Amino acid sequence: MTARTDTPSAPRPAGWRDWLTTDTPQSRAQARLGRAWAGWTAFRRNRLAVAGLLIVLALVIVAALAPVLAPHHPYAQDLNNRLMPPSAAHWLGTDAFGRDILSRLIHGARLTLMIVALVAATAPLAGLVIGTAAGYFGGWVDTVLMRITDIALAFPKLILALAFVAALGPGIENAVIAIAITSWPPYARIARAETLTVRRADFISAARLQGASSLRIILGHIMPLCIASLIVRTTLDMAGVILTAAGLGFLGLGAQPPLPEWGAMIASGRQYVLEQWWVAAMPGLAIFIVSLGFNLLGDGLRDVLDPKGD
Amino acid sequence: MPTLKRGLTLLVTVAATLLGLLLVTFLIGRVVPIDPVLSALGDRANADSYAQMRTQLGLDLPLWQQFLRYVGDVLQGDLGTSVLTSRPVLEDVLRVFPATLELATVAAIVGAVLGIPAGVFAAVNRGRWPDHAIRLLGLLGHSVPIFWLGLMALLLFYAKLDWAPGPGRVDVFYEGMVDPVTGLVTVDALLAGETDIFWNAVGHLVLPSAILGLYCVAYIARMTRGFMLDQLRQEYITTARVKGLSETRVVWGHALRNITVPLITVIALSYASLLEGSVLTEMVFAWPGLGLYITNSLLSADMNAVLGGTLVVGAVFIALNLLSDLLYRLLDPRAR
C-alpha cells in the first residue's frame, strides 16, 4: 500500500503497479486485476504460504517434466543393484528390484497430481451444485438435500472409501471415485451457507425481475460467490486426499504395482524397513512434503480469501 | 414439551442416518463383482443347489425387499458369515473390537493431554511466536502419513534404539496367557493379577497410541485455542484480573473451566475419528483390532466381514457423534 509516492523525482514510478493499485479503475478487468493484486500482496506477506505455493508449483513442474528430470526409467530393473543405499548413482537408493527410487518418486508425482486434480474437479463441483440448489430453492428441496448431506457427513470417510474400493476393485481410478464419493458433503454445506447469505440480496432480486431463470441466477450470480470459500476448503482438503490415496495405496487397494504410486511404494518397502529404511522412508517423505505444501497454501489462502475464520 | 419434540427429532435423525448407512453398505454389497451364491456354495455347485441357495439368500426378490430383509437381519444382529473365518461376522467383530477400543482410548487421552495445553498456550500467546509454532506443528501433524510415521517410529524406537517393543499387543511369549474377560489386555492382565503382562501391554501401547494420538492433537489444540480466545475476551476475565488473581489462575482456573463442555464434545468427536483412523495404524503395528480385521477381509474379498465391520464402525461413529451432541445439551445449561 506504500507504493503511492508523492515524490515526482522517483526515477521510474512502477507504472503497472500504480495501474493495479488505483482506487479509480477504468474498466472491470482493471478492477479485478487490482483485487487480485491486493490479494497477492497480502498472500506474499505470509512466508509459509508462499513456501506452500512453491511446493505445489514444484509438484506440478516435476510431474510435467518427469521423463526429462528422472535420471532412470521408473520401471528399469537392475537386480545386481537391489536395495542399494543412497549413492551418487542413485541419489535416494534403489528398491527391491533395483529400480531407482528417485526416478520412481518423480514419476509418482504425476499420479499424485492426477489424483488431486480428479478429486478437486469432482467432489467440490458436486457439493457446489447440491449446496447452491438447496440454499437457493429452500423449502423441501433444501430439507431433502441437506438431510442427505447430513447423513453422508455422519459416515466414517476412510472406512467407507475402503468398502467402496473393495466393491469396485482395487485400482487408482476406483480409489479416486471412492475418495470423491465420500468427500462431497462438506462442500455442499459450505456452498449452502454462502448461498443463504446472498439469496435475499437486491442484485439477485434485480436479476430475477429482469426475467433470469433460476438456473441462470445460480450459475451466473450465486456460484461465483461460493468459489472463494470452496477453493480454500478444497486446497486444505487436498492434503487429506493425498494422505487417503496414499493410505489406500499402502493397503494395496489404490494404484497397483508396478505403478510408482507413493503409498504403494511405502508398502513395498515395508518388509525391508528395519534394514533398508530408505525404500519406505523416501516415498513417505515425498507424501509429507507435498501434503504439507497443500496445507500451507490452503492456510495462507484462507487468510486472504476468507478472512472471516480467525 | 419442546424437550420431547427435540428428543424425537434427534431420534428420527439418528434412525435416518443409520438407515442411510445400511443403504450404502447394502448397495456396496450389491455392486460387488462377487457372486454371493458361489461364495457360499463354492464354485462347483450344480444348477439345482445354486437355484435353491439363491432363493434361500433372497436374491430372487426385488431389490427393495432384499434391502428390507437385510435391515431385518442386521437388526437381529445377523451380519452374515465370514468366508475367511467361517464364523458369524458379529462374533468376529466383537472379538477384535476391544483391541481397537483400547488403542483409540489411549490415543484420545494422548490427544487431549497434549492438545488442550497446546491450545491454551497458543490462545494466551495469540499472534506471537508460540501461537505460530503451535499452528505450524498442527499443520505438520496434518500432513504426515500416519502409517509412514508408524513405520519410521518402529524403525527408530524399536529397531535402532530398542526403547519400545515391536508390533503386536504383547510380546509373543505372553500371547494368550490371560483370559479375555473384557478383551482389553491391560485390564484383563490387572484382573488376573499379572503385573508383568500389564506392563508389557502398556509398553506395546505406547508407540501406536502416541502415533494415533498425534492424529487428533492438532484438531483438539485448534478448537481449544478458539474456545479460549472467546473466553479471554469476556468481562469476567477482566474482573478476575482486576481482583488481582494470578494469570495462571485466570487462564487455567477460570477460562479453561468454562470451556470444559465444548471440549468434551470435541474429544468425543475426535474419539470417533480415532476409531476410524486406527485402520492404518493397526496395519503397521500388527494390532489385531477392527481395522486390521477389515483390511485383511478386504484383501481376501470377504465382503460380509468388510461390510459388517464397516457397519459397526459407522454405527459407533454415529453414536459418538450423537453422544457428543447430547453431552453438550446436558452439560451446558445455555443449550437446554
CB contact under 8 A, B310 and A162: yes
CB contact under 8 A, B28 and A253: no
Q: CA-nearest residue of chain A to B273? A: A156
pLDDT at A47: 85
Give the C-alpha distances (Å, rounded to integers) separating A41 from A1, A20, A28, A293, B327: 9, 11, 20, 19, 45
- C-alpha–C-alpha distance, residues B75 and B86, integer Å: 21
List residues bridging with B81 in a β-sheet: B88
**In chain A, residues 105-124 whose CB comes closer than 8 Å to chain B:** none
Domain residue extents for chain A? 42-71+90-309
CA distance B191 to chain A (A): 33
CB contact under 8 A, A266 and B277: no
Residue B281's Cβ-count burial label (10 Å; 0-12, 13-18, 19+) is buried
Q: How many Cβ pairs within 8 Å bridge chains A and B?
A: 141
CA distance A34 to chain B (A): 28
CB contact under 8 A, A156 and B276: yes
pLDDT at B2: 65
Q: Does A163 touch chain B (CB under 8 A)?
A: yes
pLDDT at B335: 60
pLDDT at A14: 62
**In chain B, residues 136-165 whose CB comes closer than 8 Å to chain A:** 136, 139-140, 142-149, 151-152, 154-155, 159
Q: Does B17 touch chain A (CB under 8 A)?
A: yes
Residue A219 is classified by DSSP as I
Could you tell me if A196 and A137 are in contact, meaning their C-beta atoms sit under 8 angstroms apart? no
Contacts of B276 in chain A (CB under 8 A): 156-159
pLDDT at A1: 44
CB contact under 8 A, A266 and B146: no
CA distance A155 to chain B (A): 6
Q: Does B290 touch chain A (CB under 8 A)?
A: no
User: What pTM, to 2 d.p., does this model score?
Assistant: 0.86
CB contact under 8 A, A250 and B147: yes
User: 500500500: which residue's cell?
Assistant: A1
Q: CA-nearest residue of chain B to A277? A: B155
User: 483390532: which residue's cell?
Assistant: B289
Tens place of pLDDT for every residue, chain A, 310 residues? 444 444 444 455 567 888 888 778 888 888 888 888 888 888 888 888 899 999 999 999 999 998 988 888 888 888 888 888 898 888 888 888 889 999 999 999 999 999 999 999 999 999 999 999 999 998 899 988 988 888 888 788 888 888 888 888 888 898 999 999 889 999 999 999 889 888 888 888 899 899 888 889 998 889 988 888 898 889 888 998 999 999 999 988 888 888 999 999 999 888 888 888 888 999 999 999 999 999 999 888 888 876 554 4
Nearest alpha carbon to residue A85 among A98, A72, A73: A98
Q: What radius of gyration do chain A's Cα atoms show?
A: 24
Contacts of A143 in chain B (CB under 8 A): none
Q: Does A299 touch chain B (CB under 8 A)?
A: yes
Q: Which residues contact B58 (CB under 8 A, 6 or more apart)?
A: B65, B66, B69
| Secondary structure class of B153 (helix, strand, coil) | helix
Residue A213 is classified by DSSP as -
The topology (CATH level 3) of A42-71+90-309 is MetI-like fold (1.10.3720)
- C-alpha–C-alpha distance, residues B127 and A182, integer Å: 35
Q: Does B292 touch chain A (CB under 8 A)?
A: no
Residue from A155, A157, A174, A277 to probe the interface with B (highest B Cβ count within 10 Å)? A155
Tens place of pLDDT for every residue, chain B, 336 residues? 567 777 788 788 888 888 888 998 888 888 776 777 776 677 777 788 778 877 877 777 888 888 888 888 888 888 888 878 888 999 899 889 999 999 999 999 999 999 999 999 999 888 889 888 988 888 888 899 999 999 999 888 888 888 888 888 888 777 777 777 777 888 888 888 788 888 888 888 889 999 999 878 988 998 899 898 888 888 888 888 888 888 888 888 888 888 888 888 888 888 888 888 888 899 889 888 998 998 888 888 788 888 888 888 888 888 887 787 777 777 776 665
pLDDT at A50: 92
Q: Does B39 touch chain A (CB under 8 A)?
A: no
CB contact under 8 A, A274 and B298: no
Q: Does B22 touch chain A (CB under 8 A)?
A: no
